[in-house]
Amino acid sequence: MRDIKFRAWDKENREMLSVDVLDFFLDEIRVLEDDGSIFSMKFKDIELLQYTGYKDKNGTEIYEKDIVRISKNNDNHFHFSIGTISFEHGKWLLTVYSDVSCQMQINYMALDRYLCEKAKKCNALEVIGTTCKGYDPISLLQGGTE
């Protein structure tokens, strides 16, 4: 069984929050701050993002809307692509953006046992940002910055 966790993107303050409580009755989340205080935010003011149950090569939890760098070793030549994480058709999906011969290619693959080890660690992936912050995966692939 995988961990069910959420984080929230605060739309107004443009920051990521760790969600401690989901309250569907009051339509809000509650966040426990480091000093022990608790604050709440309405669902309409946040974007709720679910944990995939996987971690990247550095042990960072992978959430939906994350941008990941994908590294592959083909014939001792490392090839890097950029991908985004989403939940579609009942499964976690990795959308891969590759710049091959100066032509953008987009491929889709399930973020599952074919991509990640049984230990739920994805050694070929590294979380480098989130689309919530406005990062564009294609510009990152073409040398842009976060």
For residues 53 and 45, give the distance between their C-alpha atoms in angstroms, rounded to a whole number.
25
State residue 100's pLDDT score.
55
The runs of H, that is alpha helices, within the chain are: 137-141
Determine the topology of domain 52-141 in CATH.
SH3 type barrels. (2.30.30)
Q: For strand 91-100 and strand 38-42, is the pairing parallel, antiparallel, or unpaired?
A: unpaired
Q: Which helix (H) or strand (E) holds 136?
A: none
CA 63 to chain centre: 4
Cα separation values, 80 from 41, 90, 123, 140, 142, Å: 38, 27, 13, 11, 11
How much is the pTM?
Answer: 0.82
State residue 92's pLDDT score.
87
The ranges assigned to domains in the chain are: 6-48, 52-141
State residue 97's pLDDT score.
80
State residue 138's pLDDT score.
66
State residue 78's pLDDT score.
54
Instruction: State which residues of the chain have pLDDT below 50.
Output: none
- Sign of the torsion angle spanned by Cα atoms 60, 62, 67, 71: positive
